[in-house]
Amino acid sequence: MRRALSILPLLLVLAIPAFADENAGEHDLVNVPLRPHTLALEFGLKSGGLLNSFNGSTLSLRYQRSTHASWRFALSYGVDHGHESQFERYPQSYTENSYLDRYDDESDDSQVYSTSLMRITCPAPRAVIKSYLGIGPAFTVTRTKSHRFEQQTTVTRDTVSFSRTYRSDSFNRGWGAGVTAVVGAEWLVNKRISVHAEYGQTAEYSERRYRYRSEYSGTYLADAGGGFRHRWTSSGRSVVSGLTVFF
């Protein structure tokens, strides 16, 4: 109850432009279905009435095809890049002008792309609280790579007496495909705004291929390898609340 009261001011503010529409003469929204052939943006609702991305998507679009059927399209894209390098010098107390130098350089890159398409059906489009069912496919593509270079140099009396380097590289590529089904309920605040909540189940098959290579110059050792992994998963989705703005 407290959460509902916290988002009430937000809903009232968003509703003001909609009531100014020339077609907003009908103030009684009981038994009013969603308007066909309209496009909408979907947002997630956080506690306190704050908006965020709907279900973690970068973009979530909805097309109301008819009073009882709509399509939801979601797209997500994530990129992560990191780089770190450092140099350290350790004096050797047993010999004058002797020390150990160590240089490290590391980098990591990753990209994640995901998209989904869902058909949503509302069995009773004229109900005040409109229950709905949704089902559709989802796809994910991932790619990661990492690189590390390390060099250790021992200097004795200002002369390099030993040097060793280590280099490693790894690559990962993967993809996943699955099906998501949801059950939810929607309330039409006015002709432009609706709020809804849903939960569901996801089943997915995924594959991942990886390879790596390491080299040690000081001991003249090198190793390389790779592999393939696949997995079936099925998990429940926690309740997601959202706000839809129709255009």
**Cα radius of gyration rounded to whole Å, the chain:** 28
Q: Could you tell me which residues come within 8 angstroms of residue 224 by beta carbon, excluding any fewer than 6 positions away?
A: 211, 212, 213, 214
Q: Which two tokens stand for residue 247?
A: 């255009």
The residue-averaged pLDDT of 16-24 equals 40
* pLDDT of 115 above 90: yes
Is residue 60 within 8 A of residue 54, CB to CB? The reply is yes
Length of the chain, in residues: 247
pLDDT for 73: 94
pLDDT of residue 177: 96
The pTM for the full model equals: 0.70
Confidence of residue 136 (pLDDT cuts 50, 70, 90): very high
- The one-letter amino acid code at 82 reads G
Out of 150-164, 173-187, 212-226, 227-241, give the one with best mean pLDDT.
Answer: 173-187
Given a cut of 70, whether residue 14 has pLDDT beyond it is: no
Phi, psi for 25 (deg, rounded to 5): -75, -20
Average pLDDT over the chain, rounded to whole? 81
Only one residue has tokens 């496009």, namely 39
Cα separation, 202 vs 181, in Å, equals: 6
Spell out a b/e string for 21-44, using b for 16 or more CB atoms within 10 Å of the CB, else e: eeeeeeeeeeebbbeeeeebebbb
What average pLDDT does range 161-173 have in this prediction? Answer: 86
Q: Is the pLDDT of residue 222 over 90?
A: no
More confident residue, 79 or 3: 79
**For residues 109-114, average pLDDT:** 94
202 strand-pairing partners = 180, 235
Where residue 19 falls (left for φ over 0; alpha for ψ -120 to 50; beta otherwise) is: alpha
Q: Which pLDDT does position 32 carry in this prediction?
A: 65
Residue 221's pLDDT is 62
Cα-Cα-Cα-Cα dihedral of 188, 192, 193, 197, to 10°? 60
What average pLDDT score do residues 6-18 get?
41
Whether the predicted pLDDT of 219 surpasses 90: no
Residue 180 in tokens: 């998501």
Structure tokens at 5: 């009261």
Q: Reply yes or no on whether the pLDDT at 120 is more than 90.
A: yes
Higher pLDDT, 68 or 50: 68
pLDDT at 207 over 80: yes
Neighbours of 190 (CB within 10 A): 20
* Percent residues over pLDDT 90 in the chain: 39
Whether residue 34 is predicted with pLDDT greater than 70 in this model: the reply is yes
Q: Where are the domains of the chain?
A: 2-246
